[in-house]
A = this chain, B = another copy of it.
Amino acid sequence: MWNSAILSWLHIAMEATATLAFALSGLLEASRKKLDPVGVCIVTGLAAFGGGTLRDVLLDRRPFVWVAHAQWLWVLLALCIGAMFFLRTRHLEVTERAMQWPDAIGLGLFSASGTQLALAQGLPAIVAVLMGVITAAFGGVLRDIVCNEIPRALHDHSPYAVCAFVGGWVLVGATALGWPPEAAMATAAVVGAGLRVIVLWKGISLPRWDG
């Protein structure tokens, strides 16, 4: 009982931290692009919730996270307004490096949860894994599209979606082996996040295609 309360609290804390990391990536890009305050809020929200929302539209699931937990919209609004008052781009760039670690946690958590939601709908494994990848990586893709950039996830050669992809397959495998859902989720999230940490730490990059 007591243990499970701690675990549940830990899960919520990690998810909140990871969502903030995603949001800050939007805040930083909005600042670099010299967007106005409206643009800052929209791009920040898109980076934080775009991936999960796109997944839910594709899976025809409602309510979205930011509808079920609408207080998050207030948190993001406060974050954006606070940042515009107190921060400069260089502060955010320092933050960006620090944010790589919670961002890796987000990659692991959100790819595992996206994959599990799709498996629970009875979708094929490859589709479920793709939904995990979309949850983890497409907030950033939408953020970059709106900011008129080729999405970083598609051309920076740093394995991100690939780590989410592997994490998703771990969940599929563990589920097929009959593991309890919590154990399967935790393992998949740790593998996804761990791979990303190794990627960042060792500076691993994807092979180039000399097309």
Q: Are B148 and A31 within 8 A (Cβ)?
A: no
Contact of A154 among B43, B73, B88 (CB under 8 A): B43
A92 within 8 A of B: yes
A153 at the A/B interface (Cβ < 8 Å)?
yes
A42: CB under 8 A from chain B?
A: yes
Q: Which of B43, B66, B145 contacts A146 (CB 8 A)?
A: B145
> Is the pair B156, A211 in contact by a Cβ cutoff of 8 Å?
no
* Whole-angstrom distance between the Cβ of A14 and the nearest chain B Cβ: 24
User: Does chain B have a CB within 8 A of A58?
Assistant: yes
For the complex, is A11 an interface residue (Cβ under 8 Å from B)? no
Task: Give the shortest distance, in Å, between A207 (CB) and chain B (any CB).
Answer: 7
- Which residues does chain B contribute within 8 Å of A161, judged by CB atoms? 38, 42
Q: Is the CB of B206 within 8 A of A38?
A: yes
The stretch from A98-106, A122-130, A166-174, A187-195 touching chain B is A122-130
Asked if A210 and B88 sit within 8 Å, CB to CB, the answer is: yes
A contact residues, total (Cβ < 8 Å): 59
Given contact pairs A73-B127, A89-B211, A154-B42, A60 touches B58 in the complex (Cβ within 8 A): no
Which residues on B sit within 8 Å (CB–CB) of A38? 153-154, 159-162, 206
B150 contacts A150, C-beta separation under 8 Å: no
> Which of B35, B64, B160 makes the CB contact (< 8 A) with A150?
B35
User: Which residues of B have CB within 8 Å of A42?
Assistant: 154, 161
Query: Does A57 reach chain B (CB closer than 8 Å)?
Result: yes
A154 near B35 with CB under 8 A, answer yes
B154 touches A34 (CB 8 A): no
Interface string of A92-113 (1 = CB under 8 A from B): 1000000000000000000000
Given A70-B127, A74-B126, A126-B74, the answer on whether A31 and B150 have CB atoms closer than 8 Å is no
* 8 CB-based A-B contacts, threshold 8 Å: A30-B154, A37-B209, A70-B123, A73-B127, A84-B211, A87-B211, A145-B145, A145-B146
